Amino acid sequence: KKGSLPPLGLSSSPLVPWLLWNLWTARNKLVFEEKVYQTDVIITKAVVEARAWEEANAKKQQIQKKVAPGRRISLKTFSCWVDGAWQEASKAGGMGWIIKNESGEVICRDSSYRPFVSSALMAEALALREALRKAQELNLPSLQVYSDSQVLISTLGEGRDLNEIAGILQDVRNLATLFCPISFMFIPRLENSQADVLASSGLARLLSL
């Protein structure tokens, strides 16, 4: 009895790479495990995987569209400055952030710390994630985020992933969808001195324990 194949449902993703991959894995199953997969099963599996990849890629593009790095969105919005501090010898990290309302009044100023931080970039990314979580708790509708980490801001803007902070970046992108609009801006370190002081104080607290 012949099985019916599902409709492709693919708009732009090529099916051939997924077919080749599933043919290869089916061949390995046959050779090493003596398992036999029917042709319709292999094709169906390839279609399902291609469709899942296309949907995941579309979702990622939607998230990137909501994030507007490198562009000031409005003077009448909530602003957030974030910074990370890191000590290589102890692998300790400190995070600091300041959130201001539309009038420039500070509504949140805080810091935290964390052990086992692998790099200064990770400390910066952790600070950003903590700040976005706090902004979520405050139910802020929109946000302009400032950081002196050019690598972090450019990575977010280009939609790239870095293995070192992949999980944190995904959290940041998910949190970013809660604000409309949201923008990430790079600023020189001298313009981020208040967040820097908070991050350093968080690091100092950890080192004193």
The domain segmentation of the chain, as residue ranges, is 16-66, 79-207
Tokens 């959290």 locate to 171
Quick one: how far is CA 18 from the chain centroid? 27
Amino acid (1-letter code) at residue 132: L
pLDDT tens digit sequence for 7-19: 455 555 577 776 7
Q: What is the mean pLDDT of residues 88-106?
A: 95
Residue 59's pLDDT is: 54
Give the pLDDT band (50/70/90) at residue 57: low
Task: List the structure tokens of 135.
Answer: 């902004």
Contacting residues for 106 by C-beta, under 8 A, at least 6 apart: 98, 99, 100
Residue 76's pLDDT is: 66
Alpha-helix residue ranges (DSSP H) falling in 113-192: 120-137, 150-158, 166-176
User: In the chain, where do the E strands start and end?
Assistant: 79-87, 92-100, 106-114, 143-147, 182-186
Q: What is the mean pLDDT of residues 98-102?
A: 95
Q: What is the mean pLDDT of residues 45-66?
A: 64
Residue 50's pLDDT is: 75
Q: What is the CATH number of domain 79-207?
A: 3.30.420.10
pLDDT tens digit sequence for 152-208: 999 998 888 899 999 999 999 999 999 988 999 999 999 999 999 999 999 999 999
Is 73's pLDDT higher than 60? no
Helical pair 120-137 and 150-158, crossing angle rounded to 10 deg = 70
Is 72's pLDDT higher than 90? no
Residue 139's pLDDT is: 94
The per-residue pLDDT of the chain, averaged, comes to 85
Residue 198's pLDDT is: 97
Residue 41's pLDDT is: 82
Q: What is the mean pLDDT of residues 109-125?
A: 97
Tell me how far apart the alpha carbons of residues 54 and 1 are, in angstroms, rounded to a whole number. Answer: 31
